Structure 1
């Protein structure tokens, strides 16, 4: 008897515990076959093309394939292994071929085009009109108007790009996992807090080694760079971190970078765009590379003088404290932390006892309840892909189901670094039923030890609120069509819901709800909250310059013809010229591990973090006018932004919420680069 494939059975929640690695490929192949049948029904129909029988039918074609691939690629990010990575390399070109079969199908395109050209007479709703525009552009922007030879060339480009991107990510993960700093002398731990030492001891024990092990995962790397007195060891760890994909070995990513940017440029040219950035930004709020560059230059002009002043102050401080003659990158976090402690009498070790992970989770749930009336109840019947994953049923004030929420908080060898929000099931309405979404956040926070629970740094607290803001965007979606639901919005708008929620981490009325000492139960004292607020703009000039440098590097790869670039490091150094404060490190290269733009979706889009900061600072000023938990303001944000997904242009949605366009002054005020109102 043939074994049943759980991915091909009807399921609502992902059947993680029943899935074996061998199930993925046959399930995806069968789901492609079924999706092809859905498409054939549309193309074979002799009826005149209508919105319902063409555009709407196309939207829901391949629904099963979308569910299966979301599970597979999420697992490849959060719980991967060599077998799954090998499968991803096999499956990606198959999916790329299928996608191209659809968008290069001349019969299907002509049917969609016929509906599009007749749209003014169809009396479509705003959401229907948006979906029609999106589907038509999907064909147009993916080669529907190319001749047969060009279409084949585009197919090959897309397949190569999918494979290169996967390979890039696999190399970064392998590099992250293979390095360890093994310390055997206790004196080398000087300056490190107890929690960091204990975690390192546990890591060494797991590897059957004596002493302490530190690695390149953030919960291990950041405390070492911030507190370890040994400058030589900080240098060793920092160079290892910055050299990922830059060792000239089998994991070197330089060739991947060069091939990716050149193939992207070639693809853009084939589709009629001058550069890849022009292609990508056509579907963004910023619209053109010129606008992006102008936006970043304006912020750079405001931030650079402040950053240079902060840098020189830090340099003088390090010189006075330890006679450091030249500040290096591996000194940045260490002396910044020392200076912050001196200026504000505050460090993360003071704060961490008030930010035990479970309390912070409860806190973000309380904030969501007060703003949007949501309730979170942990459930145990939903299957998960790892024992650490927690699941919650999300309901509204009337007990109606809003979403299923997955949360995965700690680093593992099979999990890529960073933090992200994703989805296992989109929200949409079909056949009279409002299908509710299944949303997940994945993070890499400090693990609990034998001696204490998971205590978060303040940066980890803001990261949790950030990802939860994305999750709310997914959970509160209320649209008809999955492809414009939740976070399916313009890339430079998607960070607004996440970044705006970070603001609550700095507010007394929010912190008092959940920031309690894990041992004593004492609520965080007012003086510590004031110190958090006072230090919020500490080194904001340098932080802004750093973010802008990443955006500038991204645009340098994607807004010009890269065909003449043959040295990744030299190109990067030139891109960083206007933002560089610290001496260059010859052993390091950022591009070779810049996963956001070479594996994630941020190519020609990294500027969007700063773009969305302008929106979020402006939006939060609106919240503060009536109180940060004002339900009327929150409902307005929910109704005009969070629930609407990509149903309308984001500028339209934002103006409906705020009554005006966002201006950068609110961000500059918050960053301390302009006087407060």
Structure 2
């Protein structure tokens, strides 16, 4: 199983498909993005399936055939080898659960999680889907209106349906039209250096820490930087973290935090410090522009850095409970909670400055992305539920046809099947990378994170060092040495409830 998981990830990281398009086929995509693309000998533009290429095209390429080609290729990455690997893993996991006396792999995994059993997870996902369905139905009506309008305007065939290759395009259009969010204009206010400085400053103030870049140190690539973290009150060194922020050939393709050395008490009674690395694939700088982040990328940066802080602020005695070694369905909550700072005025102003003029984020621009947070909430969250439900379903079976099942569950939750010939799960790294039977945890933990944010910070001050101190003490510091349910009770002063989560999606929890 371990070898298969490694092969699955290796196949993904070595995947290097290139598609070529004319400028006309990429109409609608930002000019600066087109300029950054290499050309082949025929003068066509080369587009890879890595995030910094794929997502700008899927969000803005007007031609549906271009999007279809890209989406088909993207969801066919490693199709043959990884489909076979995933389906073998499902069988082996089922056998292992049987040997250990559990009815299914999901039951085995959840036994040591907050949720405890697969039925509880299924109920959670189904209930949430029912509440989100009305939002999604309204959103699809809007997407179809926009699609008809586009087809009439540019002479494309209108089929009255939304497909996978339409989704990000019309979600982006909804944000731009209903909330007047111009993502390309917003990017100009988020140069990487300014975001990094602002982000570190916010975490410093909130958690009472001091960050110092360590110069002249050996790193694995010239773009990687190293920082030390010191507790400001005691001046104790807590640990180090690396930032590896840009894509390159053969590198891990997503964004993640990796623990490199756990914090713990050594046999001599001294504390071993924590070392962690944050890895991402943000858009690289060009000759005439610094690296400019989208608002989504700023949120990703904040989220993954939250995991870094969880690693470094944890003060558990044993390495087994160090940092993010909490129940897997709680592990995202501390970082998701901190994402909220990317949707509040003061933190956004501290992380932004126009890359040319140095001008602060104007209020009229800032209000728009903040209000747009609930844009596409139905479709986005139902897609998360689809992924969680797929993960649970394959891990309650002994054998599975992953492509067929994914398409069926997609039809059920999104209202359309997979694109023919694709299998998204062949590139669903979480299923081979340690999240098996646990992907629901993103939504599960978001319920807790919203409760923490709304109950403490939103009511009483998002930059409050007092609540930041409580957060560090009750949520980050214990690592996995205390049950997550107890940590939440200690911080909230009560059991958690889902009301804040529903409010954050634009729903009335009492309806």
For the criterion TM > 0.5, the same-fold answer is yes
Separation in 1, partners of 2:114, 2:133: 25
Structure 1 match to 2:74: 241
- 1:336 pairs with one of 157, 167, 171: 171
- Superposed CA deviations along residues 558-594 of structure 1, whole A, max 9, x for unmatched, are 12x323x3x3322222333420323431121112111
Q: Does 1:229 align with 2:62?
A: yes
- 1:458 pairs with one of 295, 307, 322: 295
Q: Equivalent residue of 2:281, what SS?
A: coil
Q: Equivalent residue of 1:368, what SS?
A: helix
Matches within 5 A, 1:54-133: none
- 1:191 pairs with one of 24, 28, 48: 28
Structure 2 match to 1:180: 18
Structure 1 match to 2:503: 669
Separation in 2, partners of 1:426, 1:651: 23
Structure 1 match to 2:104: 275
1:238 to 1:258, Cα distance in 2 relative to 1, 3 A: same
- Superposed CA deviations along residues 494-539 of structure 1, whole A, max 9, x for unmatched, are 1011101100001111111121111111111111121011111001
TM-score by length of 2: 0.95
Separation in 2, partners of 1:652, 1:412: 42
Separation in 2, partners of 1:210, 1:577: 39
TM-score by length of 1: 0.72
Structure 2 match to 1:475: 312
- Superposed CA deviations along residues 19-77 of structure 1, whole A, max 9, x for unmatched, are xxxxxxxxxxxxxxxxxxxxxxxxxxxxxxxxxxxxxxxxxxxxxxxxxxxxxxxxxxx
Structure 2 match to 1:142: none
Separation in 2, partners of 1:408, 1:335: 32
- 1:587 pairs with one of 414, 421, 427: 421
Q: How many angstroms does 1:209 deviate by?
A: 7.8
Structure 2: runs of 5+ lacking an equivalent: 153-157
Q: How many residue pairs are counted as aligned between the two chains?
A: 502
Separation in 2, partners of 1:661, 1:218: 39
- 1:420 pairs with one of 247, 256, 261: 256
Matches within 5 A, 1:492-641: 492-559=329-396, 561-563=397-399, 565=400, 567-598=401-432, 600-621=433-454, 622-641=456-475
Structure 2 match to 1:357: 192
Structure 1 match to 2:270: 433
Q: Equivalent residue of 2:188, what SS?
A: helix
Separation in 2, partners of 1:580, 1:343: 21
- Superposed CA deviations along residues 91-115 of structure 1, whole A, max 9, x for unmatched, are xxxxxxxxxxxxxxxxxxxxxxxxx
Structure 2 match to 1:411: 247
Contact 1:308 1:581 in 2 (8 A): no
Structure 1: runs of 5+ lacking an equivalent: 1-160
Q: Equivalent residue of 2:90, what SS?
A: helix
Structure 2 match to 1:100: none
1:190 to 1:575, Cα distance in 2 relative to 1, 3 A: closer
Query: Runs (4+) of structure 1 moved beyond 4 Å?
Result: 207-211
Q: Equivalent residue of 2:462, what SS?
A: coil
Q: Equivalent residue of 1:493, what SS?
A: coil
**Structure showing greater relative contact order (alpha-carbon pairs closer than 8 Å, 6 or more residues apart):** 2
Separation in 2, partners of 1:597, 1:315: 33
Separation in 1, partners of 2:462, 2:231: 20
Which of structures 1 and 2 has the bigger CA Rg? Answer: 1
Q: Equivalent residue of 1:188, what SS?
A: coil
**TM-align CA RMSD:** 1.7
Q: Does 1:448 align with 2:272?
A: no
Q: How many angstroms does 1:675 deviate by?
A: 6.5
Structure 2 match to 1:167: 7
- 1:214 pairs with one of 47, 53, 63: 47
1:525 to 1:215, Cα distance in 2 relative to 1, 3 A: same
Q: How many angstroms does 1:327 deviate by?
A: 2.6
Q: How many angstroms does 1:180 deviate by?
A: 0.9
1:472 to 1:208, Cα distance in 2 relative to 1, 3 A: farther
- Superposed CA deviations along residues 597-631 of structure 1, whole A, max 9, x for unmatched, are 12x11101000000110011001012111110111
